[in-house]
């Protein structure tokens, strides 16, 4: 079954709203989210530390008992953090420092030499490496040449088009997933997934191994409660 890795960036956003405030306790939230059934915790420490701080990643390493997935642009500081913390998975994302949120996958054709070096370094520390990718089968050969273990399909376009025509929305993702599996790449997906669009994606993507979900899940939890929400998302994946 497709694993759920909960992105806790937005819990850190709430905590940071009061400066050095201790609530909500990010580490306790991670422990509880795992206890509620999540198979991973995802964080995206951005250079401005607007939500997840570098120290949070260090602290989470000692707390997370499932899998810690650290996402980010492989800047020297980010790579040093991954070298220090050694998370189970690193997801490379080409975000600009001032990006409001992730808004594109890698140009793996142009950047395959750079990515190959970064992937090799991260794998030397024992990490599984995933690269954030737009849904385009033509990118798979270059993605595989980087030595990455997996790709993470950037699902913003799917989520945006889902309400209008879900069959059309999923087509490029299905084609890219099939190409990735054929190339021996593992398959993750994430960004803007929610309780409405998740089950259909899981049904239609052959070989999908993991989804990372944060913004919608934390927003839902404000109304539905965190334990109930984690289990609702897992139930959607069971339908996949």
Ligand X SMILES: CC(=O)[C@@H](O)[C@H](O)COP(=O)(O)O
Ligand Y SMILES: NCC(=O)COP(=O)(O)O
Q: Which stretch binds ligand Y (CB under 6 A): 18-26, 76-84, 140-148, 209-217?
A: 209-217
Query: Residue 218 — φ and ψ, nearest 5°?
Result: -70, -40
Q: Provide the angle, in degrees to the nearest 10, between the axes of the packed helices 26-35 and 54-63.
A: 40
* 155 in a known ligand binding site: no
Residue 214 touches ligand Y, criterion: CB under 6 A:
yes
Which one of the listed residues 67, 152, 191, 210 is annotated catalytic?
191
Q: Which stretch binds ligand Y (CB under 6 A): 20-28, 57-65, 189-197, 223-231?
A: 189-197
- Six token digits for residue 236: 């959607």
Classify strands 128-133 and 150-154 as parallel, antiparallel or unpaired: parallel
d(CA 142, CA 148): 10
Residue 128 touches ligand X, criterion: CB under 6 A:
no
Choose from ligand Y, ligand X, none: what does 213 bind? Cβ within 5-8 Å by kind: ligand Y
Query: Is the separation of the CB atoms in 234 and 37 below 8 Å?
Result: yes
* 7 in a known ligand binding site: yes
Query: Is the separation of the CB atoms in 91 and 132 below 8 Å?
Result: yes
Strand partners for 190: 154, 212
Which one, of 168, 156, 86, 153, lies nearest residue 125 by Cα? 86
Q: Measured from the CB of residue 7, what is the shortest distance to ligand X in angstroms?
A: 6
Q: Can 44 be counted among the known catalytic residues?
A: yes
Residue 201 touches ligand Y, criterion: CB under 6 A:
no
Give 124 or 196: the residue with its C-beta nearer to ligand X: 196
Q: Measured from the CB of residue 63, what is the shortest distance to ligand X in angstroms?
A: 19
* 101 in a known ligand binding site: yes
Residue 56 touches ligand X, criterion: CB under 6 A:
no
**Which H helix or E strand runs over 91?**
strand 89-92
d(CA 140, CA 178): 10
Residue 93 touches ligand X, criterion: CB under 6 A:
yes
Encode 170-209: b = buried (16+ Cβ within 10 Å), e = exposed: bebbbebbbbbbeeebbbbbbbbbbbebbbbbbebbeebe
Among 102, 146, 197, 229, binds ligand X (CB under 6 A): 102
Residue 150 touches ligand X, criterion: CB under 6 A:
no
Catalytically annotated residues = 44, 71, 191
* Chain positions contacting ligand X, by CB under 6 A: 7, 9, 44, 71, 93, 101-102, 132, 190-191, 214-215
* Chain positions contacting ligand Y, by CB under 6 A: 7, 42, 71, 152, 190-193, 212-216
The annotation places the binding site for 1-deoxy-D-xylulose 5-phosphate at: 46, 51, 101
The annotation places the binding site at: 7, 18, 46, 51, 101, 192, 214-215
């Amino acid at each position: 079954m497709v694993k759920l890795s909960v992105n806790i960036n937005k819990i850190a956003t709430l905590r940071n709203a009061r400066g050095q405030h201790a609530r909500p306790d990010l580490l306790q939230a991670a422990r509880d989210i795992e206890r509620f059934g999540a198979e991973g915790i995802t964080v995206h420490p951005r250079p401005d530390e607007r939500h997840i701080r570098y120290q949070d990643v260090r602290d989470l390493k000692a707390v997370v008992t499932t899998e810690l997935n650290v996402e980010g642009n492989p800047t020297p500081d980010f790579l040093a953090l991954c070298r220090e913390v050694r998370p189970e998975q690193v997801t490379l994302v080409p975000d600009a420092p001032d990006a409001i949120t992730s808004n594109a996958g890698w140009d793996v054709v142009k950047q395959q030499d750079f990515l190959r070096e970064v992937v090799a370094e991260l794998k030397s520390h024992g990490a599984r490496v995933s690269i954030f990718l737009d849904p385009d089968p033509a990118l798979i050969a270059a993605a595989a040449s980087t030595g990455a273990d997996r790709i993470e399909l950037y699902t913003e376009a799917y989520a945006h088009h889902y309400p209008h025509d879900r069959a059309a929305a999923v087509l490029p993702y299905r084609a890219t997933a099939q190409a990735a599996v054929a190339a021996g790449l593992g398959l993750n997906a994430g960004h803007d997934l929610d309780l409405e669009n998740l089950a259909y994606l899981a049904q239609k993507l052959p070989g999908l191994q993991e989804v990372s979900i944060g913004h919608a899940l934390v927003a839902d939890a404000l109304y539905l409660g965190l334990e109930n929400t984690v289990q609702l998302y897992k139930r959607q994946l069971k339908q996949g």
